Amino acid sequence: MRILDTHLHLIYPDRFNYPWLGGNAALNRPWSHGDYFAEALALGIESALHMEVDVAEADMMGETEFVLGLPRIAGAIAACRPEHMNFVDQIEQLSEHAHVKGVRRILHESPDELSQSDLFIENIRHLPDYDLSFDLCLRADQLHLGVALAQRAPDVTFILDHCGNPDINGLGLDPWRTALAEIAHIPNVVGKVSGLVNHCNPGWTAQTLRPYVEHMIESFSWDRVVWGSDHPVATVTGGTLTDWVAATREIIKGATPDEQAKLLHRNAERIYKV
């Protein structure tokens, strides 16, 4: 069954500045479109949405425009700064590109208060006017911030990245399990099954991930989940794109073809309007 990857990162250090990569030796090199699709197409991944890679602010628009010109990139989730007064100008510029499907502001490494300010929330409320969604990247201990944000911007579609980043190697299922269920109760939040392997020790298997994926689907339902590779970040614990796709297919093999299609491509096409 075909897959639409909703969370592909492409890294071009010769084109853009990635300040955070200086402290990440495993990722601090080129990760190209060609290399990704050489592996992805054999796995049934026919297209992808590019997820912003936290480039320097001066490169944000350039990154978006560049990736939208690449084959099989069905759209982009662009970097944004809702804490800035000129946010509406920024999304107006982004909206000139038909294949910008949403925006993201990295929050899991930001102060908690950033996403809770009146300016941030007022700016986010403008997104439906431009047919844009907002990807939420929060740590498991920050999921209550996502609840508050989604409740104060009920007309915005939020996509919770990486299953809410459970601490698989540490705390395990709890208290993530309860916090995840709480944010899943917010009707304008969608869950993205991605980013789990980053929290595992090398040697993880489908069984390592199964309780987290199954709780995501149980909490959000098959109608409100999408799938993402988080490539190449998902490779830092020793796995590959091929490993993550194989694990996903193993975990959901007991689901109906219709349910599998919802997770792997159909929901994403509807939610991101691909």
Sequence-separated (6 or more) residues with CB below 8 Å from residue 92? 130
Q: In this predicted model, what pLDDT tens digit does every residue of 6-24 receive, in sequence order? A: 999 999 999 999 999 988 8
* Confidence band, pLDDT 50/70/90 cuts, at residue 109: confident
What are the domain boundaries of the chain? 3-271
Predicted local distance difference test score (pLDDT) of residue 23: 83
3-class SS letters over 196-213: CHHHCCCCCCHHHHHHHH
Average pLDDT, integer, range 230-255? 96
Sequence-separated (6 or more) residues with CB below 8 Å from residue 261? 1
Average pLDDT, integer, range 42-67? 98
Judged by DSSP in three states, 13 sits in coil
Angle formed at CA 225 by CA 163 and CA 109, multiple of 5 degrees: 30
Q: pTM of the predicted model, to two decimals? A: 0.97
Average pLDDT, the chain: 97
> What is the DSSP secondary-structure string of 143-191?
HHHHHHHHHHSTTS-EEEGGGG---TTTTTTTTHHHHHHHHHTSTTEEE
b vs e for 1-33, b when ≥16 Cβ sit within 10 Å of the residue's Cβ?
Answer: eebbbbbbbbbbeeebebeebeeeeebeeebeb
For domain 3-271, give its CATH number from 2.160.20.10, 1.20.120.80, 3.10.20.340, 3.20.20.140: 3.20.20.140
Phi, psi at 137, each rounded to 5°: -115, 100
Share of the chain above pLDDT 70, in %: 100
- Top-confidence residue, 25 or 146: 146
